[in-house]
Amino acid sequence: MIMTFKTIQEAFNHYRTASLEDIEKRAAEIKQTIETDTDADVAALNIEIEGLKQAKANVTEKRGEQAGFNPITGMEFTQGGSKDAVTGDVLASVEYRSAFFKTMLGHKLTQPEQAAWDRALTEQRADAFSTTTDTAAVIPTQTLNEVITKARKMGGILSVCRGFNIPAKISVPVGTPSSKAAWNTEGAEVESQQPTVASVNFGSYEIIKVFSISASVKRMSVPAFENYLVEELAQCVIACLADGAVNGTGANQGTGVLTGITWTDDVNAVQFSGGTASARTVAYGDVTDTIALLKRGYANGAVFAMNNATLFTQVYGLMDSNKRPIFIQDAQADTIGKLLGFPVVVDDYLLDDVILFGNFSYMGYNLPDGIAVEASTQSSFKSGRVDYRAMAIADCKPIVDEAFVKLYKA
């Protein structure tokens, strides 16, 4: 029988006497419901899950008092606490970072590293919203930040998209440009205005990559292996997300900006008009028409996005009516350049002869659980190699359609 609770206290009272196994089982059921049932009452389920968390904390606290050990880490504790305990976010700790890479390399852990490692894995297994397996470990926070930073430096629209780290299926409001204030006569009544607020609701889709390296990897130093892993994850997992941000279909994957928006000529799309009917090219007027179609408020922060071939075959030599180039390279600032004053972003996942103009703060991607990595020697037993599997739960989609205009060759 499915129960609906009106308050967190009501849910806590219901599960207060339940066993830890029953609490975790119900939490897993709620996770499954949120991920699979599009009609689920997420607000009510959130109330129940908060009550479950409090009930679980109550049970584990009693177990700790009775048994004399910490149920989270499984370690004995003393009155003064353990000097090896990691406080705060364990994934952001130095001990966990060291333990993660040592484990991937098969090196022995120190006592503080082992404690941080055990705590991290226990918290992942206890979290009903975790998407990793019991043996996989989420990469350290600092390493994940380095992966994202490296991906942004690689360019592409992902470098200018808005990143999120929120649970899947949760609707999050995103502010849009609002209308300006108005002059008012003293004492006159002012009508209130309803602000325009968009929202984004990300799904949960898997990105998986398996890469194999020689067993001699165990001889690598921890910093060298971390640099290798950052490079590999940026090139495969994040590159997959970058492709999805452009071309994703939304079917068991993210939704791209090209496929997720309905393009209508003279509304949010402009066709090339230069050249001949059989060989159309972009004209100066096409670019100005594209800029003019972007709705007010989105131009601040807007960029042009295109692939490298389109930049050099269609845009590079464009002139205005006074025979002045409209694309200006910016070698001094180490950027691609500007087109009529707007920055240009090169993304080779875009098709040839397609140019996007818009504010990519309204194109979002979500990595709620970071990237989980695990090592295995079983699948490559005969070759003596070590297989590493990277898995991420991610999604991407346009947040506000009117923030983008497409210039294209029909």
Domain harbouring 369, CATH code: 3.90.1690
**Would 115 be classed as within a structural domain?**
no
Average pLDDT taken over every residue of the chain: 82
Could you tell me the strand order of the sheet in which 354-358 lies? 269-271, 404-408, 354-358, 303-306, 342-346, 335-339, 327-330
Top pLDDT among 354 and 66 is at 354
Instruction: Please tell me whether residues 243 and 359 are part of one structural domain.
Output: yes
Domain's final residue, options 68, 83, 113: 68
Instruction: Please tell me whether residues 138 and 269 are part of one structural domain.
Output: yes
Instruction: Please tell me whether residues 238 and 338 are part of one structural domain.
Output: yes
Instruction: Please tell me whether residues 45 and 144 are part of one structural domain.
Output: no
Instruction: Please tell me whether residues 37 and 157 are part of one structural domain.
Output: no
Instruction: Please tell me whether residues 60 and 154 are part of one structural domain.
Output: no
**Would 321 be classed as within a structural domain?**
yes
CB atoms within 10 A of CB 114: 18
Domain's final residue, options 68, 90, 108: 68
On whether the CB atoms of residues 128 and 366 are closer than 8 A, the answer is no
Instruction: Please tell me whether residues 41 and 168 are part of one structural domain.
Output: no
pTM listed for this prediction: 0.68
Determine which of 274-283, 353-362, 376-385 has the lowest per-residue pLDDT on average: 376-385
Which range among 65-74, 150-159, 206-215, 306-315 has the greatest average pLDDT? 306-315
- Judged by phi (left if over 0) then psi (alpha if -120 to 50, else beta), residue 155 lies in left
On whether the CB atoms of residues 171 and 199 are closer than 8 A, the answer is yes
**Would 288 be classed as within a structural domain?**
yes
When divided into structural domains, the chain yields a total of 2
Domain's final residue, options 68, 86, 101: 68
Enclosing domain of residue 244: 134-174+199-221+231-410
